[in-house]
A and B are shown apart, each in its own frame.
Chain A
C-alpha cells in the first residue's frame, strides 16, 4: 500500500512538472544556428559581483526612477540621436547634463568611504547630500555590495580597497544593464520599422485604429531576423473574420521583414535587444 501511495504521488508530480516544462518546448522557435560569437572571459570575482548584485537588491529602487537611472550609457549616446530624444522622453535631456558633471565627483569619495563599511551601514542611504536621487541609490548599492563582501569573505583580504572600487563601479554599470533598452534605441527601432510599414492598402478601411497586430521576433547579433516574425494575436485576427485586419497583419509582417537588418543597436548590449514585441496599428 505504501508503494502504491508513493508511486501515485510521484506520477502526479511528474504530470504537474510536465505541465510546467511543456510550454517551454512549444515556444521554441525554428532557429537558424547563431553565427559564432566571441566569448568574454569573466573573472571569477566579477562573476560573483554580477550574480550577487540582484540578490542584494534594490530592484525596487531602480524601478522607481525614470530613465535617468542609467546616467553613464545614456550620456554617451545623447549627442547622436538628438532628434529622436526630442520626440520621446522629454524629461530625459534635462537631468542628463546635470549628473554628467557631479557623476565623477561621488565616485572619487568612495575610496575614503569604503574602508569604513561597518560604520556607514547603520546610516540610512538617503542621508547623503547628493543633488540627484539616482547617484544616491547606486552608492547605497555599492555600499551594500561591499557589506556583503566584507561579511562573506572576511578571510580573503586580498582585495585591496581600490580593486574593490573598480569592481563596484563595474557592478554599478551592470545593475541596470539587464533591465531595458534606452528610449532612444527604442525610438530608432520604431522609426526603422515604421519606414517600411506601408498602410496604403488600408486607406479607407473602416476603423483602422482597431486593427492592432502584435508581432514577436528575435534578432541576430547583426540585426537580421532569426526567423519570420510571429503574430501573437493571430488567433484573434483569424476568428474575427475581419478581412482588413488580415490585410493589416500582412502589412505588419512585411514591414518587419523588409526593413532588416536592424544594425544600429549596440552589439555589446545584445542581450537587451535580442527579443522584441511590436504592436502595430495603421492609425492612431
Chain B
C-alpha cells in the first residue's frame, strides 16, 4: 500500500513541474522626452453653428497642448480617418500610421435650454482603449473656457497632474514714454485671449499684483506721489478696491495665504522693513520678523506652515524660511550675488526666485531645505516668477536691453517649465511686467 502511495506522489510531482523557457531580462532607464504626438480632429457638430464652434474649440485645445511643450498636435491634414462620433470606436490602425499615440475626439451639441454641451473622449491608440471621457455644459459664449477645461482634462489624463489651462494672468500693463510710464492692471486668459484692463481710470500706479488662491480677488501695491505706497485689495468681479489698512509706513510685497484668509506683506517703519501677517476678517496685524535688516517678499507654503522671505541680515539679500508664526528663521541660499522675490510652488516642493549675479539675472528654483538649486533661465534683466496652479510652469518678465538708438527696454512676459525646458514668450498687448497666475477657475 505504501508503494502505491509513493508511486502516486511521484506521478503528481513529476507532472507538476513545468518547463519554462527562460525570460530575457532587459532594463531601460530613460525614455525620449520629445513631445508626445497627439491627434485632435475638429470637434464634431450637427449643424453649421456647432461645427464652427467645434473648430474654434479644437483650435484652442491644440494651442494649449502645443504650448505646454509636452505634446505635439499632429497636423490635421495628415489624418486618415474622419471620426463619426464621440461614442464610436475609432479605427486605431489609421491613427497608428500617422504615429499618433493619443487621439482626442469631441463633439459640440446644442442643448434645448440654449447652452452647449462639449463632450470629449481620449483614446490610447496603441493599447486600443479609452483613457477618459468628460462633458461640460456651458453658455455658448463661454466656449473658450470649455475648451480650456477639455485641455486640462487631457493634460491630467496623460500626465497625472492637474492642468493649468483654465486660468488667467494678471499683469501690469505699461504704456507711454519711458520717462512717464502709465501702469495699469490688466487681466487675460493664460493663452493671451480676452485682455481686459482692470484699473483704468485710477490715479495711481499699481505694482506686484497677486491672486487670491480661493476667490476672484487680487492684492497689489498702489504707488502714490504724495504718500507712502499701500497694499490694496481688488475684487475682480465687482471692480471694488479697498485699502488693506492705514499704516504709518509703506506696505508692500503682499501675498495671500493658501486659504485666502490672510495677507502676508512687508511693512516699513522708521526705515526698517519687516514681515507682517494680516488677518483679512479681523484686520489684525501680527509681526513675524523683528530684525534691523530689510525683510521683505514673504511667500507662504501651500500647507500654510512655513514662510519664505528675503532678508539682507547676512550682508546680501538671501532667502530665509521660518514657521508661519515667525519662529525658527533660517537661511537657505548661500550663493553669490543676490536672491530676491521667492515664490513657494503650489506643489510645495520648490521655491522659485530671482538671482542677480555678475550683472546678469537668473530665474531659478531651490528645494525648501536649501538643496538642489537650479537656474532655469538667464538674461539681461528678468524677475518676478509666478507659478502655474499645478506647480509645473513659471511665468516671469524680462526687460530687453535698452539700446543707444532708443529702442529696446521693452518688458515682455515669458514662461518656462520647472525643468528649464520650453522657454517661450507669452504675447501681451503692449509691454507687460509683474505677472501673477490665477488658480484654476472653478
Instruction: List A residues at the B interface (Cβ < 8 Å).
Output: 2, 6, 9-10, 13-14, 16-17, 20-21, 24, 178-181, 186, 189-190, 193-195, 197-206, 216, 228, 242-244, 246-247, 250-251, 253-255, 257-258, 271-284
B1 touches A6 (CB 8 A): yes
Contacts of A280 in B (CB 8 A): 27-29, 31
Closest to B158 in A: A201
Per-position binary interface string of chain B over residues 99-128, scored 1 when its CB falls under 8 Å from any chain A CB and 0 otherwise: 001000000000000000000000010110
Query: 8 pairs across A/B with beta carbons < 8 Å?
Result: A6-B1, A194-B28, A200-B36, A201-B158, A247-B160, A250-B124, A279-B28, A280-B29
Which of A21, A271, A278 contacts B15, CB < 8 Å? A21
Closest to B20 in A: A275
Closest to A6 in B: B1
CB-CB under 8 A for A198 and B24, given A20-B16, A244-B160? no
Q: Is B75 engaged at the interface, CB distance under 8 Å to the other chain?
A: no
Closest to A209 in B: B29
B15 touches A197 (CB 8 A): no
Instruction: List B residues at the A interface (Cβ < 8 Å).
Output: 1, 4-5, 8-9, 12-13, 15-18, 21-36, 69-71, 96, 101, 124, 126-127, 131, 158-161, 347, 349, 392, 417-419, 421
Closest to A272 in B: B24
Top 8 A-B residue pairs of the complex, sorted by shortest distance between their CB atoms = A20-B16, A243-B160, A199-B31, A17-B12, A197-B31, A257-B126, A247-B160, A244-B160
Contacts of B70 in A (CB 8 A): 200-201, 203
A182 to B435, CA, bound (A): 57
Contacts of A197 in B (CB 8 A): 28, 30-32
Contacts of B9 in A (CB 8 A): 13
B8 touches A13 (CB 8 A): yes
A56 to B97, CA, bound (A): 52
A257 to B13, CA, bound (A): 38
Contacts of B419 in A (CB 8 A): 203-204
Closest to B96 in A: A258
Contacts of B124 in A (CB 8 A): 250, 254
Contacts of A14 in B (CB 8 A): 12
A204 touches B417 (CB 8 A): yes
Contacts of A190 in B (CB 8 A): 26-28
A275 touches B24 (CB 8 A): yes
A282 touches B31 (CB 8 A): yes
A198 to B37, CA, bound (A): 9
A280 to B29, CA, bound (A): 6
Contacts of B101 in A (CB 8 A): 198, 254, 258
- Interface majority SS on A: helix, strand, loop or mixed? helix
Closest to A187 in B: B26
Closest to A242 in B: B160
A283 touches B26 (CB 8 A): no
Give min CB distance, B157 to chain A, whole Å.
9
CB-CB under 8 A for A277 and B126, given A13-B9, A16-B12? no
Contacts of B1 in A (CB 8 A): 2, 6
A6 to B8, CA, bound (A): 11
Closest to A271 in B: B21
A130 to B407, CA, bound (A): 81
Closest to A280 in B: B28
CB-CB under 8 A for A203 and B18, given A9-B5, A277-B24? no
Give min CB distance, A70 to chain B, whole Å.
15
CB-CB under 8 A for A20 and B12, given A180-B22, A275-B23? yes
A203 to B68, CA, bound (A): 11
A228 to B25, CA, bound (A): 18
A254 touches B26 (CB 8 A): no
A200 to B31, CA, bound (A): 8
Additional A-B contact list (13), CB under 8 Å, known A200-B71, A205-B161, A279-B26? A6-B5, A13-B12, A17-B13, A194-B30, A200-B69, A201-B70, A201-B160, A244-B159, A250-B124, A254-B127, A273-B24, A280-B31, A283-B30
